Structure 1
Amino acid sequence: HRGDQKPSPHKVNYASRGVFAESDIFKGDFILEYRGDLIDPEESKRRRRIYHNSLKGFMFDFIWHGKFWTIDAARDDGTLGRLVNDDHINPNCKMKRIMVEGKPHLCLFALKDITPGDEIRYNYGDADCPWRNQVRIPWSCIRIL
């Protein structure tokens, strides 16, 4: 809040990030890839020991050929996949594993039509997501006296 501005009566979060559609996206369309280092379980454990907690959320775990793998997108390389937010209730995208030249790539595809301005969101799965446990009070329950 700057001295020349009135504080907002609404709670806002300027720290959150997200990815938003700039054009029409249709059901089934490829949207983007979740890029980072493809690492094995041993390297994943090593990095989780040394990373700050804020970076651990960029590690995407999956199974490939019966083995545990991780895409580590902790390093900001300018790609948008690492900035797509979680929505476990009404996602508009789904992460799928695509094989290219024998290696897995994690790609987002639209589950439904998405219009310009809509946020791109997918279900992070069973990951430990602390924000899912936050209690939200519907506006209809708030009374201003």
Structure 2
Amino acid sequence: MADLSGGLEPVPVALWPPGEAPPVFQYSPDSVAGADAEMDPSEVTFPGCPCRSRSCLAPACPCLCRGHNYRGLCLRGAGQGRFARPVFECNALCGCGERCQNRVVQRGLHLRLQVFRTPSKGWGVRTLEFIPRGTFVCEYAGEVLGWAEARRRTRAQSPQDPNYILAVREHLHSGRVLETFVDPTHVGNVGRFLNHSCEPNLFMVPVRVDSMVPRLALFAATDIPAGEELCYDYSGRSHNPPGNSREHEPLEQDNRLRKPCYCGSSTCASFLPWDSSLFATPGSSP
């Protein structure tokens, strides 16, 4: 069976149906720096922990100062409503071993996933095996952009183009807002094929490993049976605390720029969420 990742993932990414393939793009398991990125996602800027054990323990490990992040491959607290705690994994400069329990997202894909042709949504992703609630599924990787380039690319899109550019906004206690724009149009991983759902079975958590540039990690919001399509909420409202959203409220009066939603859920909003701030003129409020 064809491997969409070309051997770049620990587990092959299957394609269906045979003989068909999505438009050509460069597969990358990790995000890369885009045209005007302020930071290179591959650069190691965090200091490592001094732990010398095979696996770090809280509260002795500075990477775990907020408590343990994982239980096996599952995010702790993922089944307890909205998830708000920052997640920092041990990094390349840490003294702990590669099998440290605080290294999950950085290890890459571990589930058997399949990119498949859907009846009405183009390409999608489904799981070929059962996924327990809270399990890390995959990243949403692509080019990390600055606001100006993200705005330029968004404004250049037509309604027929795929809805790819993702805007993540993290609201800090200080009042500061951290923005991350990821575009997997030309460079990306299996996450670029995930469709939106108004009732998703995945949720996204920014996970930091080597630097302040987060890895956009997707976890199972519920137990997911084999064969089910994997989807997340493009707006960021599902399973995220108020204020930590991925989209601004849509401009309901201008549906010409919006794409229809085909998720088929009972709460479907009819249109895909989108970020109206990227259509704002320079100097105006988003």
Structure 2 distance, partners of 1:129, 1:51, is 11
Q: Which residue type is aligned with residue 123 of structure 1?
A: D
Count of residues in correspondence between the two structures? 121
Gaps of 5+ in 1: 1-11, 135-145
Shift of 1:59: 0.3
The residue number in structure 2 matching 1:93 is 202
Structure 1 distance, partners of 2:218, 2:121, is 24
The residue number in structure 2 matching 1:117 is 227
The residue number in structure 1 matching 2:179 is 68
CA contact (8 A) 2:143 2:187 kept: no
Deviations 1:19-64 (A, max 9, x none): 1111111111000000101111111112223344444610000125
Structure 2 distance, partners of 1:27, 1:20, is 15
CA contact (8 A) 1:55 1:74 kept: no
- Check 1:21–1:40 CA distance in 2 against 1; reply closer, same or farther (3 A cut): same
Q: How do 1:34-113 residues align onto structure 2 when only pairs under 5 Å count?
A: 34-55=140-161, 57-64=163-170, 66-75=177-186, 77=188, 79-88=189-198, 90-102=199-211, 103-113=213-223
The residue number in structure 2 matching 1:33 is 139
The residue number in structure 1 matching 2:95 is none
Q: Which residue type is aligned with residue 183 of structure 2?
A: D
CA RMSD of aligned residues (A): 2.4
Which structure has the highest strand share of the two? 1
Q: Which residue type is aligned with residue 146 of structure 2?
A: D
CA contact (8 A) 1:35 1:106 kept: yes
% identical equivalent positions: 26
TM-score normalised by the chain length of structure 2? 0.38
What is the SS of the residue equivalent to 1:82?
helix
Which structure has the highest helix share of the two? 1
Asked if 1:133 is matched to 2:266, the reply is: no
TM-score normalised by the chain length of structure 1? 0.71
Q: Which residue type is aligned with residue 75 of structure 1?
A: H
Shift of 1:87: 1.0
Structure 2 distance, partners of 1:118, 1:67, is 33
- Check 1:67–1:15 CA distance in 2 against 1; reply closer, same or farther (3 A cut): closer
Structure 2 distance, partners of 1:53, 1:21, is 29
Q: Which residue type is aligned with residue 226 of structure 2?
A: P
